[in-house]
Amino acid sequence: MTKTATKAPFRADVVGSYLRPQVLKEARERYQKGEISKEDLRLIEDTEIAKLVEKQKDTGLQVVTDGEFRRKYWHADFISAIDGIHSFEVEVPGFFQGEMKTLTSYTVGSALKFPENHPFLDHFRYLNSIAGDHTAKITIPGPNMIFHSGVVSSQPYLDNPAYPSFEAVAKDIAKVYQDAIQAFYDAGCRYLQFDDTSWGAFLSEKFRAKIEANGWNIHELMKLFADITIEALTNKPDDMVITLHVCRGNFKSSWLYEGDYEAISKELFSRVPVDAFFLEFDDERSGDFTPLRYIKDQQVVLGLITSKTAELEDPEDVKIRVAQAAEYVDLEQLCLSPQCGFASTEEGNLITEEEQWAKVRHVVEIAHDIWDEQD
């Protein structure tokens, strides 16, 4: 097993989602048709998650997730369960290079509150109960997924705002996440990850133009994004690790945004006090490592192994890129992971389960080679 620090994130880490097994896909379909009960589905989910956890342990990882096996989407399931969120289906032609046709969208329809019985708390409790001596990580969408998609880019919200000002709704979003962090902590969580594509919109000239067309100043909005996350983290327990994965989109091996991290680097890396950033650096759309110059004492988990295709990266090339990143961030602050999950939605990326596990083992083996002598 790769030697790592005992505190997350680990030298060899993962973003979180895994390909859904066929038996789980069939069970969800039968549940939707009314052929099995919610309890029946839950038992099948429990069984498949337990198998997944053992497979993760077998790869040499020190962290385990539930693979997001209980979700349809990486983000909408969590957000839809927050009081005040109204969800609805929309057609999204051309989204993700035309791969996605419909999407569960949401808007802030009334006062926001994190419910005491949010279903993800039980999801974590089950995962934690079977993690053993491994660290259980739960992934949830970051606070700006509500502010971006449910407020500033939501036509239903703009047509009928539920709050008197953007500042007021931003304050309540931060409070929702303060309460969520404490609730997960009380449930035993010590490793929580925010996943976020909203920051990715700033990386793309195309999407920046859309934001400006809606009347926003890009720099003012980025500052507000950072302020919301900073406020959300205000009461974070000292012994809880919270990381932020800044994603460019991941659906059936397609993507949404392109552009390097330079546009957001100063506002995000130098201001937002998460413990680590999970960053995508798996292809030419990602740019180079110069934006990392704004990193302070946070760790950076380099997403150098792609989850979108089956081909295994040359280990020597990966080691060279880690060394290049170490010109901006000390090697002791760096870790390695796939650039994103393997199934951000229930459809999953266009690879096989065998290829998925080969990727995870690849991360562990390369991390072992890079850091064993240092740790």
**pLDDT digits 0-9 by tens, 10-25:** 999 999 999 999 999 9
Q: What's the pLDDT score for residue 90?
A: 66
Kind plus residue range of the DSSP H or E element containing 138: strand 138-141
Lowest-confidence pick of 37-41, 133-137, 203-207: 203-207
Beta bridge partners of residue 103, listed in sequence order: 90
Question: For the residues of 231-245, what is the DSSP string, one character each?
Answer: HHTTT--TT-EEEEE
Tell me: pLDDT of 41 over 80.
yes
pLDDT at 187: 98
Alpha-carbon torsion, ordered 314, 320, 324, 330, to 10 deg: 100
pLDDT value at residue 282: 75
CA atoms of 123 and 68, how far apart (whole Å): 9
pLDDT grade for 375, boundaries at 50, 70 and 90:
very low
What would the mean pLDDT of 356-370 be, rounded to a whole number?
A: 98
276-280 sheet: strands from edge to edge = 138-141, 191-196, 241-246, 276-280, 299-305, 334-338
- In this predicted structure, the answer to whether residue 93 has a pLDDT above a threshold of 80 is no
Of residues 63, 13, 55, the one with CA closest to residue 245: 13
Alpha helices in the chain (DSSP H): 22-32, 38-59, 76-80, 119-130, 144-147, 155-159, 166-186, 205-213, 218-232, 262-269, 315-325, 353-371
- Over 60: is that where the pLDDT of 4 sits? no
Distance between alpha carbon 70 and the CA centroid of its chain, in Å? Answer: 15
Q: Give mean pLDDT, residues 177-193.
A: 98
CB neighbours of residue 167 within 10 Å: 10
**How far is it, in rounded angstroms, from Cα 287 to Cα 12?**
22
Q: How far apart, in whole angstroms, are the C-alpha atoms of residue 274 and residue 346?
A: 28
Token pair, residue 211, equals: 């934001």
- 203 vs 93, residue with greater confidence: 203
Q: Does 91 have pLDDT greater than 60? A: no
Q: What is the pLDDT of residues 209-251, one digit of tens each?
A: 888 887 889 999 999 999 999 999 999 999 999 999 998 765 5
Q: How far apart are CA 30 and CA 279, in angstroms?
A: 37
pLDDT per position as a tens digit, 27-37: 999 999 999 99
Chain-centre distance for alpha carbon 352: 21
Over residues 280-306, the mean pLDDT reads 90
DSSP 8-class letter at 12: B
Whole-number Cα distances in Å, 47 to 9, 34, 41, 68, 72 = 27, 20, 10, 14, 18
Q: What is the CA radius of gyration of the chain?
A: 20
Q: Which of the residue ranges 48-62, 160-174, 178-192, 236-250 would you say has the lowest mean pLDDT? A: 236-250
